[in-house]
Structure 1
Amino acid sequence: MRTFVAVAEAGQFQAAADELGISQQAVSKRIAALERHLEVTLLVRTSRGSRLSLDGQVFLPHAKKVLAALEQAEQAVRPGRRPLRVDVLHRRIAPAQAVYRFYRTHPEMNLDAVTLSNENAARAAQAVLEGTVDASFRALPVDQVPAGISAERLLNAPLELLVGPGHPLANAPWVRPADLAGHRIWIPGIRQGTEWAAFYQALSHAFGLSIDALGPHFGDEALMDALADSASLATLVGGGDRYVWPQTHDLRRIPLHEPTPVYPHALLSRTGDQHPVLTALRDHLRTSGPRTSDDVWAPDWASR
């Protein structure tokens, strides 16, 4: 088909052969084979070269579309051309915001942010191994990183306390994690077997906190409504998480210090993956992650 288009555009078999880097005899054989397959005559030889038959005129635009589609398919999977698929876990939290900032800084980079929201860290790592995605942000314990996967902790998201205006800590400039002991911290939607369940369990044990995951999770908006109406309810969010609530809610984000608990997002990728956008993303995260003090806390099992 590519040979046919070359002859149709050049008007001569020899010119098409020169363009394709093959012999004129090979061009003739390819055209003959295509015509036998279609059971029509596509090209009519003349004293000046060749011209399209009526069937050839009808077939030519379709052939060009097929070749263009093939070229697009090839470009899509060539190294450096295929979009980098990154699992950001959730659209509102720090990994998604970090990838978005990277894209804003490098708009020429070809990437696609996706969410494997129903997958735990181990399954997300398997998705990376299988090529479903190229990379994933997950808090995967170091002893659970499978062979063939590289895990680099590139995004430490500092936690903040989120409360309504009537909460006793609403006006505090910052709070120690240990000061939260005795306060009701509600984080609905924690599922057993997920990395965030393991994280909050470790956080609770480290600082003597009571984290309540009971009750159905009706979405972030319902959680914000509950915080605004309560003088005792609080939740934890990441410093880079993006939540929106009505101005009348007057919710307060309060940093946690001494130490600063951080959610340890590690970037999982296939060992040796040289995708240029992945390399650029790593470099960006190494130099532009959230700034935290040296006094931070993360679970002992977190990737380094």
Structure 2
Amino acid sequence: MDLEAVRTFAAVAEAGQFQKAAADLSITQQAVSKRIAALERDLGVRLFDRTPRGAEPTIDGQAFLPHARELLRVAERAVASVHAGRRPLRIDVISSRGAGSGLLRDFHRAHPGTELDVLMLLEIEAAVDAIRSGAIDASFRAVAMPGRRLPEDIASVRVVDEPLQLLTGPGHALAGARSVTLARLAGHRIWMPGLLPGSEWAAYYDDLVAEFGLTIEATGPNFGSDALLDTVADTPALATFMGGLTRLVWPAGHGLRLVPVTDPVPVYPHALLWHRDNPHPALTALRAHLATAAPAPDAPGTWRPAWVLPH
């Protein structure tokens, strides 16, 4: 179906006259007539009755009109979807409560006129594939994992190092500590369900365990942060690591404690990934915002795995 013919049909139906529609479309009246005739042949029906007052849609024309308008709206959305700056910026943040989501919220507050589509992809391979295919514009990740290089067409930059804190229930042996060193955590059970094998966060904690002799348990199903908080609050023998930029709310009766970890401070490195050829102007604005909105990574006294890309 010729979309210009559909556009012409809608213009004639709106104007009520072939001559007025021709003027609105900046084409000749003869061109309008030819387009309408071709559309009628394609559909096998007559779309207009000629009257002394102009042109009135037939019963078939009236039935086709709302669909014609929808076709034109869909076409406009399709064109907008591939014009940088005319479609929302699509960003993967992994989770709604994590640091990436917080950074994106800060950007939105600073640029309220920028439209955003927020997605949550679990695996880094899915995020990279989505960036390369154009399904998303960027993703917040920790890169690059051991033995796994990013494709040449994917760019990345570290945007923030998130300090880890120890989260305990009120009965835990370290609940009253003002801070705790990594060395002091040796022998304590740190429960972290949801460490997906092969993920960048699993690789991070593997290195943390190897370097500091910690005991991290990933047993049991991952029922989400609320279930994790419930279990830690009720189990004095368990603690967990929580990012200092992660947004969590728990019932007052839980009595949970967040204890800073020091000597060194383990930091989780968040980076932004994007396609080197992505022209979306809002992506440039996001990168500029992130460059100034968070403390520079690699602060003295912090620890990160050796495989993490430098700032």
TM-score greater than 0.5 by the shorter chain? yes
Contact 2:167 2:258 survives alignment (8 Å): yes
Q: How far, CA to CA, are the matches of 1:214 and 1:165 in structure 2?
A: 22
| Identical positions, percent | 51
SS in 1 for 2:290: helix
Pick the aligned partner of 1:139 from 139, 142, 145. Answer: 142
Question: Is residue 28 of structure 1 aligned with residue 33 of structure 2?
Answer: yes
For 1:228-267, what aligned pairs fall within 5 Å after superposition? 228-267=233-272
SS in 1 for 2:180: coil
1:11 positional shift: 4.4
SS in 2 for 1:256: strand
Q: Which runs of 5+ in 2 are unaligned?
A: 1-5
1:57 positional shift: 4.6
Question: 1:59 and 1:192, CA in 2 relative to 1: closer, same or farther beyond 3 A?
Answer: closer
Q: How many residues align?
A: 301
SS in 2 for 1:160: strand
Question: 1:211 and 1:65, CA in 2 relative to 1: closer, same or farther beyond 3 A?
Answer: closer
Q: How far, CA to CA, are the matches of 1:81 and 1:283 in structure 2?
A: 20
Question: Is residue 106 of structure 1 aligned with residue 107 of structure 2?
Answer: no
SS in 1 for 2:114: coil
Deviations 1:3-34 (A, max 9, x none): 12223334444443343233333222111111
1:159 positional shift: 0.7
Give the match for residue 51 of structure 1.
55
Pick the aligned partner of 2:230 from 222, 225, 242. Answer: 225
Give the match for residue 126 of structure 1.
129
Deviations 1:97-136 (A, max 9, x none): 222232233332211211112x2x2342122212232211
Give the match for residue 296 of structure 1.
302
1:298 positional shift: 1.2
SS in 2 for 1:144: coil
Q: How far, CA to CA, are the matches of 1:2 and 1:298 in structure 2?
A: 58
Q: How far, CA to CA, are the matches of 1:179 and 1:86 in structure 2?
A: 38
TM-score w.r.t. the length of structure 1 is: 0.88
1:182 positional shift: 2.3
Contact 1:81 1:110 survives alignment (8 Å): no
Contact 1:259 1:296 survives alignment (8 Å): yes
SS in 2 for 1:70: helix
Give the match for residue 204 of structure 2.
199
Question: 1:60 and 1:126, CA in 2 relative to 1: closer, same or farther beyond 3 A?
Answer: closer
Q: How far, CA to CA, are the matches of 1:67 and 1:218 in structure 2?
A: 45
Q: How far, CA to CA, are the matches of 1:252 and 1:223 in structure 2?
A: 14
Question: 1:64 and 1:193, CA in 2 relative to 1: closer, same or farther beyond 3 A?
Answer: closer
TM-score w.r.t. the length of structure 2 is: 0.86
Contact 1:138 1:268 survives alignment (8 Å): yes
**What is the RMSD of the two structures over their aligned residues, measured on CA atoms?**
2.5
Question: 1:290 and 1:170, CA in 2 relative to 1: closer, same or farther beyond 3 A?
Answer: farther
Q: How far, CA to CA, are the matches of 2:224 and 2:35 in structure 1?
A: 61
Contact 2:49 2:58 survives alignment (8 Å): no
Question: 1:158 and 1:97, CA in 2 relative to 1: closer, same or farther beyond 3 A?
Answer: same
Give the match for residue 194 of structure 2.
189
1:153 positional shift: 1.0
Deviations 1:73-113 (A, max 9, x none): 33333221222221111222211222223223333221121
1:264 positional shift: 0.8
Contact 1:152 1:266 survives alignment (8 Å): yes
The amino acid of 2:305's aligned partner reads P
The amino acid of 1:298's aligned partner reads R
1:237 positional shift: 0.7
SS in 2 for 1:155: strand
Give the match for residue 168 of structure 1.
173
